[in-house]
Structure 1
Amino acid sequence: MNLIQVIYGTNIIRIEESARKMAKDFLGEIDEFSLVSLNYRETPVENLIEEAQTLPFLSDKKAIIVNDAYFLTGAKTKSDVEHNIDLFIDYLTNKNDDTLLIFKVFNEQLDKRKKITKLIQKEGAVTEVKEMTEPEIRAFIIDSLNEENMNIDDMALDMFLERTGISYSNVKSELDKVVLYTDHTITADDVDDVVSISMEQNIFKLTELVLNGRKDEAVKLVRQLILQKEEPMQLLHLIISQFRLLYQVKLLSNEGFAQDYIAKNLRVHPYRVKLAMREVRKHRQDKLEEKMVICRNMDYKFKSSYLGRNTLFELFVMEI
């Protein structure tokens, strides 16, 4: 295994799992002496290098996980310490210890213009942790359940994804809940009983109800969200974002572009585009434009009206 590893992406949980697995594969058994975790924001480069060059105590091998290694990105981030990047470059260029360094980068891309990034790409190994696709999430759910000697029927799996979306963190936490709740085969009733509906899916459901004229159900859902302490202003902005997505998907699909192209062009997950395409087929483009105008006007009212935001939001749902 290359002793300089970089794992980057926006899915924090998957990055952490990947780093932990990489360390375990290298060390065999993990203990408090063999695996060290440091934060780049808080640890000077000199200390990091000293730790890497210090022989492991009561262990044959040593690994260091460097959290939030933002120096490999273009982000301008404040740090608690000053870093000597030239010293770090010199160390990595002439690394002669046997310590595994794993840099975790919570960013969708690395800054390949930087000298240190070019060096690590040359001397080390770089792994991008991408968001999982719908088939990958489905396979992950089934494999995870198989490890627990459990399974899930097709209707329940579809319902599970409708509630959680394709967010890995949502899927993982909700799967843990339903595994504890069910003995062997997970059914739609089990999912309905214990799986929470993600905010993203609630917003999609809300826009779907609005577009299909089911205003009473939409208001009921709004009241439920407000009871859950969701801020009306935040809900409004999420709805505006969802209508913008629907409108953009409608435009691009009318031009004949496929789902994968639209997702890449709009920089959203293909599963969101899949759901949006399913919905926009039912509606004309001018109807979606009309909704966008109402959203814009309501955004202005929220910032200028004397009425309470909860009341304004219900009025907005009735109007839109």
Structure 2
Amino acid sequence: MIYFFYGPDSTLLSQKVKTEVRGKVDISDQLQFIKFNSFQDTVQDVVMESLSTSFLGEPKVVVLENCYFLSNSKEKVPPLDKQQDFKSLIDYITFPNPDTNLYLLMVGKPNKKSEIVSLLEKKAIVVEVNNLTDEEFVETANALAKEYNGDIDRESVTEIVKRSGRDYTMFVNNVRKLFTYTNQIRIMDVQQLVNNPLSDDVFSLFESLINNDRPTQAIRITRNLFKMGYDTYKLLPVLASQFSFLAEVAYLDSRGSTEKEIADSLRCHPYRVKCSRRNLKYLDFNIIIEIMADLSELERNLKYNLDDPQTALELFICNFRKNYLMRK
């Protein structure tokens, strides 16, 4: 049988295969569970392995990771692409070896115009492997807890999911990191050892800029971000995106759109629109556009080494109220 798994996370794709074949083959046996990578191996090697019968006639699983040739991505193809014999793969998909389970894994979305993808949709089991549900994250955490002979409560799992941005790989890495620290993970451990996503911290900075008379809190958040390894070059685009979103809300609000209509138009949660509309008490559309222009100018000056990055950002924060809020 042939399986085509695709989705946003390579680790999750690999885990999906292991879950599927566990109990059917020994994944530690390299004669039963054989892995290839399209960046390093040719498809004809994969086909040859899939056609061959195992020495003892046992079932066999062949996995081909990073099937870039099935993706709709415009990224540059690897040098090995010139050596790939895709016709051999097409022939194999048409007439597969019934004793071999072949798994094709691809990060991203499939190219619907591809001849191979079209054939897979007819001949293979095609599965989109999306991010886990809340319950699946809990199950994954409990499985890791057994591996470490430890314990993790549901509240901690929920917080790790949030701080990992629902990214499977980051979630697993964070849980493993916590289990090296303690065998009983609780919420305080998560708060101390797992960083919030950058977007959450920048949102806190954004809210602090608009809603506080003094820049003390905003400066504290910024310096914490610097300590976490984020520099001005990483912070500026994310901060600018917050003001860009606020500008879009301000424009639609000025046209009389309701909260729900704005949320639908911007494809976001209504609560985010509600918070943004509340911030419009302090800033109007023209001032928001001016802020974005000033952030762009700040970024341009940094590229030409005209300012010290950290000092420039902190000066922007310190002068924010005087330059923008007091003019509303």
Q: If the TM-score is normalised by the length of the shorter chain, which range does it land in?
A: 0.7 to 0.9
| Corresponding residue number in structure 2 for 1:5 | 3
| Corresponding residue number in structure 1 for 2:102 | 101
In 2, Cα distance between the equivalents of 1:43 and 1:18?
Answer: 22
Question: Displacement, 1:18?
Answer: 0.9
Match of residue 69, structure 1, among 67, 70, 93: 67
CA RMSD of aligned residues (A): 3.3
In 1, Cα distance between the equivalents of 2:220 and 2:37?
Answer: 45
CA contact 1:137–1:168 (8 Å) conserved in 2: no
Task: Classify the secondary structure of the residue corresponding to 2:260.
Answer: coil
Residues 167 and 300 of structure 1: CA distance in aligned 2, closer, same or farther (over 3 Å):
same
Query: TM-score if structure 1 supplies the norm length?
Result: 0.80
Structure 2, unmatched stretches of 5+, are 321-328
Task: Classify the secondary structure of the residue corresponding to 1:105.
Answer: strand
Task: Classify the secondary structure of the residue corresponding to 1:111.
Answer: coil
Query: Is 1:201–2:212 an aligned residue pair?
Result: no
- Number of residue pairs aligned between Structure 1 and Structure 2: 306
Q: Could you tell me which amino acid in structure 1 is paired with residue 16 of structure 2?
A: S
Q: Could you tell me which amino acid in structure 1 is paired with residue 112 of structure 2?
A: K
CA contact 1:52–1:97 (8 Å) conserved in 2: no
Q: Could you tell me which amino acid in structure 2 is paired with residue 243 of structure 1?
A: F
In 1, Cα distance between the equivalents of 2:33 and 2:284?
Answer: 54
Task: Classify the secondary structure of the residue corresponding to 1:301.
Answer: helix
Match of residue 21, structure 2, among 14, 20, 23: 23
Query: Is 1:299–2:296 an aligned residue pair?
Result: yes
Question: Displacement, 1:158?
Answer: 6.2
Task: Classify the secondary structure of the residue corresponding to 2:4.
Answer: strand
| Corresponding residue number in structure 2 for 1:14 | 12
CA contact 1:72–1:114 (8 Å) conserved in 2: yes
Residues 170 and 242 of structure 1: CA distance in aligned 2, closer, same or farther (over 3 Å):
farther
Residues 246 and 11 of structure 1: CA distance in aligned 2, closer, same or farther (over 3 Å):
farther
Task: Classify the secondary structure of the residue corresponding to 1:287.
Answer: coil
In 2, Cα distance between the equivalents of 1:223 and 1:59?
Answer: 62
Residues 12 and 288 of structure 1: CA distance in aligned 2, closer, same or farther (over 3 Å):
farther
Superposed CA offset, 1:184-238 (max 9, x none):
5x54433333333232322222222223226212112212222343231121012
In 2, Cα distance between the equivalents of 1:255 and 1:223?
Answer: 34
| Corresponding residue number in structure 2 for 1:60 | 58
Larger radius of gyration: 2
Q: Could you tell me which amino acid in structure 1 is paired with residue 260 of structure 2?
A: G
Q: Could you tell me which amino acid in structure 1 is paired with residue 211 of structure 2?
A: N
Residues 212 and 286 of structure 1: CA distance in aligned 2, closer, same or farther (over 3 Å):
closer
Question: Displacement, 1:64?
Answer: 1.4
In 2, Cα distance between the equivalents of 1:183 and 1:112?
Answer: 47
Question: Displacement, 1:122?
Answer: 0.7
Q: Summarize the alignment of residues 164-175 of structure 1 with structure 2, pairs less than 5 Å apart.
A: 164-175=164-175
Structure 1, unmatched stretches of 5+, are 267-272
Superposed CA offset, 1:165-197 (max 9, x none):
43333333323344454555x544333333332
| Corresponding residue number in structure 2 for 1:256 | 260
Question: Displacement, 1:277?
Answer: 4.4
Residues 183 and 28 of structure 1: CA distance in aligned 2, closer, same or farther (over 3 Å):
closer
| Corresponding residue number in structure 2 for 1:224 | 224
Question: Displacement, 1:248?
Answer: 4.6
Superposed CA offset, 1:79-117 (max 9, x none):
23222222321221112342111111110x211122211
Query: Is 1:236–2:236 an aligned residue pair?
Result: yes
Residues 188 and 298 of structure 1: CA distance in aligned 2, closer, same or farther (over 3 Å):
same
